[in-house]
Chains A and B, each alone.
Chain A
Amino acid sequence: MPHAITNIAALFSRMAAGAEESALWELHKAYFHRLFRFVYAFTGIRESTEEIVNDVFLELWQKRHLLYNITKPEMYLFICAKNKALRQIKREKQLTESLNTLNDFECVLDSTPHDIMITTELHRRINEAIGVLPPKCKLIFSLVKENDLKYREVAELLGLSEKTIENQMGIALKKLSQSIPLSFSS
């Protein structure tokens, strides 16, 4: 991924080694909004999303001595968040098929100074196209886009097959490319 990825593994070992609280805050800074988007897709309520995300970080800190053995720290974070979100949903709404009842959430490209190739109009069109993706597709797109996760890992996280993830990602790319004037986007 071209955008800056925090070295999450290093943060994990710093937390495990010396009980370094600063590592937790770096992690919080890097992942708060991503976990928030992810959890919000499940809960659809900002307040409980915030509680769940805080809970993820709290638990991480409480179990910091175990963080030595985590081979995929990013996955660990998201799985932890998902489990908490599902537990909460089950408690509140008694839903089991939670992936089919995902909530729609905000997901747009940021406007950055270096988007020279994309004009404002294109930017708007792409965001519109992302906006109308079904929540499941959108969630997969945002997870892949924002994180260093492999399709296999996203599949594991969401309890879907790797094929489904690739298909959904393909659908997202197709819709996005159709929103901009490509020669074959008939």
Chain B
Amino acid sequence: MPGSRIWELLARKYNNEISAEELLELGRLLQQPGDAHHLNELLADLQAIPLKKITSDAHEAKSADALRLLLSIDGAPGKSGGIMAAGQIKRKWRYALWVATSLVILVFAWFMLNNSLSETPLAPPLNEVVTNGGSKSTVYLPDGSSVILNTGSKLSYNKDFGAGTREIYLSGEAFFDIAKNEKIPLVVHAGEVDILVKGTIFNVKAYTEDSIVETSLIQGVIEVFSKNDRERKIMLRPNEKIIIGKTSAVSSSEEPKHTVQPSKEVVFFLGKIKPNPVDSSISEIAWIQNKLAFYKEPFSTLAQKMERWYNVSIQFSDERLKKFTFTGSFEKEDIIEALNALREIAAFEYTIENRNVIIGKTKNR
């Protein structure tokens, strides 16, 4: 049996790192007939045959897809990187989404029909909390979790919440501080999105009139699912947020007959929660401290927030004004003070009449 020197030299030979002298030395060590031949053959074979991949092609494709999604959000060429200039998931699931949506609608319609005939209660009884007219509400759930409900929102949960299941339905915006319970996972159903939670702090914004569901995670881990494709889940880490665009199917659920029609794209935006550099407030959850905060926010979406915040309606007479972006926060300011503050930054005029605000271009400048 040759000593360890021979294997050291063979190792060098294998990786083409052997010197001319070492090669001669190896030749001398491999004196026994047959040895050199066998070993050379082994090395050649080892070099020629690649290792079997540890991952499948499908796995590789999945990674590429995930990467494409991330890239489309984060600095891909030609993308502006604006708030909804986000990635668009094309692939097969646009079709799957439609099939699934149509099925859900059909099943729902069938149930409703059945239900109205037999008059038996369909869903388990729910507790319901509704906020409107600028008010907020804190809800304490039976399992020790608490939820702060923003204005214009509705939260419902099963009557036996915490005993067997923890299911919460939300339309509007809420800040969740969920008690940890590994055995009974908690699911928040918001628009087209399901969020699986084990014990954590996060914010969900899912107003029906917005076309998006925005989930921001402050602490812990949550998994966000699209209702129509349970396979596709996205795990959020602290200080990440995801915005998922709804399809038009959601708002037209009263028409159970249509099967396939041109769909709106499902849009994703995955981003970081950034504290406002001015006062380090986090705009996503500033509302729970009675603040309306915004960070590089286009006027168009800021106006939507202000509509809810001040219970007014805001219209633009000039579309170009929607593109202004603002960073800041309002706390005690009324709508007039707020608009005046914005006018310090950008040139526009406004008129207010019966809670209707019209924003237009400056005339005299």
Which residues of chain B are near A126, meaning CB under 8 Å? Answer: 46
A28 adjacent to chain B (CB < 8 Å): yes
The segment from B53-61, B89-97, B125-133, B249-257 found at the interface with A is B53-61
From 25 to 68 in chain B, residues with beta carbon under 8 angstroms from any chain A beta carbon are: 32-35, 38-39, 41-55, 59-60, 62-64, 66-67
The segment from A66-74, A78-86, A94-102, A166-174 found at the interface with B is A166-174
A90 adjacent to chain B (CB < 8 Å): no
A121 adjacent to chain B (CB < 8 Å): no
Which residues of chain B are near A54, meaning CB under 8 Å? Answer: 63, 66-67, 70
CB-contact partner of B42 in A19, A29, A53, A176, under 8 A:
A176
Provide the bound-state CA to CA distance between A183 and B49, in Å.
23
- Asked if A169 contacts B34 (CB within 8 A), the reply is no
Q: Known contacts A170-B10, A174-B7; is A32 also within 8 Å of B50 by CB?
A: no
B12 adjacent to chain A (CB < 8 Å): yes
Contact with B along A149-180 (1 / 0, CB 8 A): 01100000000000000110111111011001
B277 adjacent to chain A (CB < 8 Å): no
Which residues of chain A are near B64, meaning CB under 8 Å? Answer: 25, 28-29, 32
Chain A interface main SS type: helix
Q: Known contacts A28-B63, A115-B48, A182-B38; is A19 also within 8 Å of B7 by CB?
A: no
Q: Known contacts A166-B8, A170-B10; is A3 also within 8 Å of B50 by CB?
A: yes
Q: Known contacts A166-B11, A167-B8; is A151 also within 8 Å of B17 by CB?
A: yes
Question: Can you list 28 contacts pairing A with B, beta carbon distance less than 8 Å?
Answer: A1-B47, A2-B47, A21-B76, A28-B60, A28-B63, A32-B55, A32-B63, A33-B53, A33-B54, A33-B60, A37-B54, A57-B67, A107-B51, A109-B49, A110-B52, A110-B53, A117-B44, A118-B49, A144-B14, A150-B17, A151-B11, A167-B4, A169-B15, A170-B10, A173-B10, A173-B46, A177-B39, A180-B42
Which residues of chain B are near A24, meaning CB under 8 Å? Answer: 71
Provide the bound-state CA to CA distance between A135 and B255, in Å.
59
Which residues of chain A are near B41, meaning CB under 8 Å? Answer: 117
Which residues of chain B are near A3, meaning CB under 8 Å? Answer: 47-48, 50
CB-contact partner of B35 in A28, A40, A171, A182, under 8 A:
A182
B29 nearest CB across to chain A (Å): 11
A interface residue numbers (CB < 8 A to B): 1-3, 19, 21, 24-25, 28-29, 32-33, 36-37, 40, 50, 53-54, 57-58, 61-62, 105-112, 114-115, 117-118, 126, 142, 144-146, 150-151, 166-167, 169-174, 176-177, 180, 182-186
Q: Known contacts A33-B55, A58-B71, A183-B32; is A170 also within 8 Å of B4 by CB?
A: yes
Which residues of chain A are near B71, meaning CB under 8 Å? Answer: 21, 24, 58, 61
Q: Known contacts A62-B75, A115-B45, A177-B42; is A146 also within 8 Å of B50 by CB?
A: yes
Provide the bound-state CA to CA distance between A61 and B4, in Å.
44
B117 adjacent to chain A (CB < 8 Å): no
- Asked if A109 contacts B70 (CB within 8 A), the reply is no
From 67 to 82 in chain B, residues with beta carbon under 8 angstroms from any chain A beta carbon are: 67, 70-71, 74-77
- Asked if A183 contacts B34 (CB within 8 A), the reply is yes
Provide the bound-state CA to CA distance between A146 and B47, in Å.
9
- Asked if A184 contacts B45 (CB within 8 A), the reply is no
Which residues of chain A are near B50, meaning CB under 8 Å? Answer: 3, 109-110, 112, 146
B124 adjacent to chain A (CB < 8 Å): no
